[in-house]
Amino acid sequence: MKKCIIICNPQSGTNNKEKLMERFINILAINNYETEVKYTKKQGDATKITKHIKECDLVIVAGGDGTLNEVLNGNLQRKKKLLIANLPLGTSNDVGKMYGYTNNYVKDLEMLLNGEIKNIDTCLINNRGFVYVAAFGNYVDVAYSTPRKLKKKVGKIAYFIHGFKRAKETLKTYKLTYTVDNKTVSGDYSFIFISNSSRIGGVNNIYPDVKLDDNKFEVAFCNLKKKTDIINALFKVVTSNKTKEIKGIEYYRTDKLSIKFYERPNESWCLDGEEFKETKTDINFSISKDINMLVPSRKVDKLFID
């Protein structure tokens, strides 16, 4: 019999996790897995749990995008990597929606167990992994600063409520120099997005031709400095799905990027919806090919080359 460990974040989403885990254990038993559930209690627990797992055939992440990020980083710290899988139970579940999961958790688990193993591009920011997006700039902290109680009460709408309260804040720009594809550019920027996903912030097909195993990630620097211009650009992103063609956005697809801030920003990065504090002024992005994931077959042809 194979062994499966479920790492469950009981705080993600709104459903009753203990009853749901019992159903998952029964389904996994039918599929020849002996299953153990490990619950997280605080931020960082999923990374520690993953790092210290001894023997396991499959690790299922039952939580939100942030929990998946923690498991990914725990796995990167291991000599012997584990096969991991995402079973989204969070609020926004951008990664899960990209892979084609539904809101029927039992169906999602069955779909996962009949899926395929894929070697994924794991993006790194100063050697720390992230699953699908690293964002920096104005208001990106809404993703991790929105109160958990509000998210449990109203779901994804909580982000809009919290973000609307921040709308009157003064827009900031950051003076920096970046180097990509042997090209160096300097300027003042209001937002930076580095991603490996077709869905970000609940918006589908931001980059409709994304592949998760092409050794590339997408880069967007926004040099717009007026709120009205930024709102118009965001509207075009949501409605046209032609992000790389929008005026005021400098777009690249690459495997290596370096950024140097002229002054150390006080603000944090947002990695997969969670806060990442980086004190360095030099930021480097690269790709690791060390992680394999079990994913549903539903969108494999669209998301992967091989």
Q: Are 63 and 89 in contact (CB under 8 A)?
A: yes
Whether residue 168 is found in the same domain as residue 278 = yes
Contacts of 171 (CB under 8 A, 6+ apart): 138, 190, 225, 226, 227, 230
Whether residue 140 is found in the same domain as residue 282 = yes
Whether residue 278 is found in the same domain as residue 299 = no
- What is the total count of domains within the chain? 2
Whether residue 151 is found in the same domain as residue 187 = yes
- Which of 15, 58, 47 lies closest to 271, judged by CA? 47
Residue type, 103: N
CA atoms within 13 A on the CB side of 25: 14
Residue 187: give its domain's CATH number.
Answer: 2.60.200.40
Report CA-CA distances (Å) from 47 to 39, 90, 98, 188, 266. Answer: 12, 17, 23, 35, 26
Whether residue 109 is found in the same domain as residue 140 = no
Residue 231: strand, helix, or coil: helix
Residue 225: strand, helix, or coil: coil
Whether residue 85 is found in the same domain as residue 139 = no
- Which of 300, 267, 11 lies closest to 134, judged by CA? 267
**Mean per-residue pLDDT pooled into runs of 10, the chain (306 residues):** 96 81 96 97 96 96 93 97 94 86 92 97 96 87 58 50 56 94 95 90 81 96 84 73 81 96 92 88 97 96 91
Residue 25: give its domain's CATH number.
Answer: 3.40.50.10330
Whether residue 135 is found in the same domain as residue 284 = yes
Q: Are 76 and 103 in contact (CB under 8 A)?
A: no
> In the prediction, which pLDDT does 119 show?
97
Calpha distance 131→110 (Å, rounded): 23
Task: Give the range of the structural domain holding residue 216, as residue numbers without chain letter.
Answer: 128-288
Calpha distance 131→151 (Å, rounded): 22
Calpha distance 181→171 (Å, rounded): 29
> Beta strands 58-63 and 2-8: pairing type?
parallel
Calpha distance 115→107 (Å, rounded): 12
Whether residue 132 is found in the same domain as residue 272 = yes
Whether residue 91 is found in the same domain as residue 36 = yes
Calpha distance 295→81 (Å, rounded): 17
Whether residue 51 is found in the same domain as residue 193 = no
Whether residue 140 is found in the same domain as residue 248 = yes
> In the prediction, which pLDDT does 167 show?
61
Whether residue 141 is found in the same domain as residue 256 = yes
